[in-house]
Amino acid sequence: MKKTIKYAGIAAAALLAVAPVAAPAMTSTTTNVQADTSYPSSDDVTAYSKMFKESATYSASQAAKFSASDLDTTIKADAFLKNDFFSQFTTGTYSGNVDDTNGSVKVSAFGENDKPLDADGVTAALKAAKTVKFIAVLEYDSGSGITATVSIPLTLTPTSDQTSTITSLAANFTTPYKVNYGSKTDDAKAQSSTDLSLTDQDNKALLSDNNEVSSYSLGGFFNSYSDALNGGTAASVGSTFTNDDGSATEYYQPITVTVSANSALDVYLATNNNNSTYTINGTSKAATDNGKVSVDANGYKTITFVRTVDVSQASEWTVKDVKGVVNTHSDKAYYTLHNDDDELVSNRALDKNSSWQTDKVRTDRNGNKQYRVSTHEWIPASEVDFEGTEIDTGTDTDTGSTTDPEGGLTVTKLAKNKIINVSTEGMVYYLYNSKGVISDTRALGGGTSWQVDKTAVDADGNVYYGVSTDEFVKAGEGVSLV
C-alpha cells in the first residue's frame, strides 16, 4: 500500500478597506411607532405545553439525538418544537400564537432521586437506559411588557429491549493474598492491590461500569473472618506487617462493593443474593458465608467479600534471565507493579492489552513469579502472557524466537494470532522489516485493523507487531491490541 500525504493549502484573503459612510443629519423630531405585536392567549400557551407528552418511552436511536445544546440553553419557542431530540415526544401539530417573537424555552434535567444532571450526565443516563426527567420552562410575553412562565414536564423511560438484566453473578479474587513480613500495610489497603472481578452471565465486567457499581474499596485488617465480614473489632496492626517473633501471621480483610441504585445488579441482588447462580471464586454463594449483601447508611446495597492476608517472611527470589515480551490481560483497567522489595508501586501501572519487553523473571519460595518490565519494576506472571525464552534453561515457552544477525528486531512467533487496531483516520503508520529498516513504499492507513502473528522488540526495548511476512508496525499511540 502507498502512503498518501495530504497538504492543506492556505488561501490568501485580500482585505478590503471600506471608507466610513457619513451619517445623515438628524432632526429633533421624534416619531413614536406602535409595535405590531400579537400576544399569545392562555389557550395558546396551554396548547403549546400540551404539545409535549408528560411521559414517554425512548429507544437507543432516539436517545442518540440528544445533544449538549438541548440543555440549559435558551431555545426559541418555534425552534424547540422542531428540536431533533424533543420533537420525537410531541403529540401533534401546533397552530397557536406562541412563537419565536414572544416565547423561548430553557430545559433542565434530573436523574435518579431527582439529582440534577448536566448534558454529560443526561447523555450517560440515556446511553445506560436510565429514566430521565426533563423540565422545559416556557417564558413568553403575555402583553404590556408582562413576562410569564409555564413548566412543561417530560419523563422519559427506556424501552424494555434497552433495559439490561443480570441472571447470574460471578465474583473472583485472590485469597489468600500474600504480603511480605515488614511490608507496608497501606499497600494492602490500596484499591489497586485487589484483583476483584464481578461478571454477569455474558462475562460483562461490572466493576468498571458506573451504572452498575458506584465504588469499591478495601478495608482494614481483622483477626477473624467473622469480624471482617460483619464489621467487628479490628486487629491492632501498625504501618507494617510485623509481630514480636517474626513468625507468619494471618489477617482477614473486607472488600466492599457499593451497588448503583436501581441498576440491573441492584435488582438481581434484591432477589438472588443467596442463589446458586451467584458464585464466589467458583463456589455457589449458598455454600459459603462470603459475599454478604447489606444496606449502608445511605440506603445503597453493598456486597462485602473477605480475603485472607497471608504475612510471610521476606521472600527469597530466584532470578533468571529471559528474552521476550509480556502482554497484559484485559479483565482489569490496569495492572499494578511491584518494586525490587515486592512493594506496590504507588504511581505507575500497566494498561490492559499492552505489551512490554522483559529481560528477567523471578520466583519466590512460594512459587510466585514476576517479570521485570523496567529497571526496578516487576509485574506478576498471573496478570500477563509471556512470549519468549528463559535463556538460562533453554526452555522455549513459545513456538520460536529468532534474532536478526545484523542486530535488527528480535522476532517472536505467536502461538495464537491477535488483532491490532490502527486509529486516527487520515494518518499513516510506518512499517519496518525485521532488520529495523523503515519501508518507503508501504504503510498502514489509520482507522484499520490487522491480524498479528508475531511480535518483535528492538535494541531499545520498543515493541512491534508483525502484520505480514516481514512487515512490522511499531506499538505506541494509535496502535493497540484488541
Q: pLDDT of 186-196, one tens digit each?
A: 888 877 677 88
317, pLDDT greater than 50:
yes
How are beta strands 301-312 and 318-328 bridged, if at all? unpaired
% of the chain residues with pLDDT over 70: 84
Q: pLDDT band for 18, please (50, 70, 90 cuts).
A: very low
Lowest mean pLDDT among 249-263, 347-361, 447-461: 347-361
231, pLDDT greater than 60:
yes
What is the predicted pLDDT for the residue at 129?
Answer: 83
Lowest mean pLDDT among 95-109, 113-127, 198-212, 232-246: 232-246
In angstroms and rounded to an integer, the radius of gyration of the C-alpha atoms of the chain is: 32
Residue partners of 264: CB distance under 8 A and separation at least 6: 163, 164, 165, 166, 200, 212
Q: Which residue has the higher pLDDT, 232 or 404?
A: 232
Mean pLDDT of 321-348: 81
Residue partners of 300: CB distance under 8 A and separation at least 6: 214, 258, 259, 260, 261
Q: pLDDT band for 443, please (50, 70, 90 cuts).
A: confident
Q: Which residue has the higher pLDDT, 242 or 399?
A: 242
The overall average pLDDT reported for the chain is 81
Q: pLDDT band for 170, please (50, 70, 90 cuts).
A: very high
Backbone angles phi, psi at 323, to 5 degrees: -140, 115
CA dihedral 200, 206, 210, 216 (to 10 degrees): 130
What is the predicted pLDDT for the residue at 226?
Answer: 93
125-161: pLDDT as tens digits: 888 888 999 999 999 988 877 889 999 999 999 886 6
Please state, in angstroms and rounded to a whole number, the distance separating the CA atoms of residues 250 and 177: 10
Amino acid at 400: G
Mean pLDDT of 59-67: 88
What is the predicted pLDDT for the residue at 48?
Answer: 94
Q: How does 106-126 read in b/e, with b if 16+ C-beta sit within 10 Å?
A: bbebbbeeeeebebebbbebb
HSE (side-chain half, CA atoms, 13 Å) at 201: 10
Please state, in angstroms and rounded to a whole number, the distance separating the CA atoms of residues 96 and 127: 35
What is the predicted pLDDT for the residue at 248?
Answer: 52
Query: By the 8 A CB rule, do 480 and 420 touch?
Result: yes
Q: pLDDT band for 185, please (50, 70, 90 cuts).
A: confident
Strands (E), 187-232: 197-200, 213-218
DSSP state, residue 276: T
Mean pLDDT of 418-437: 81
What is the predicted pLDDT for the residue at 351?
Answer: 79
Domain extent listing, the chain: 42-158, 169-312, 318-396, 401-481
Output the pTM of the full model: 0.42
383-397: pLDDT as tens digits: 999 988 776 544 444
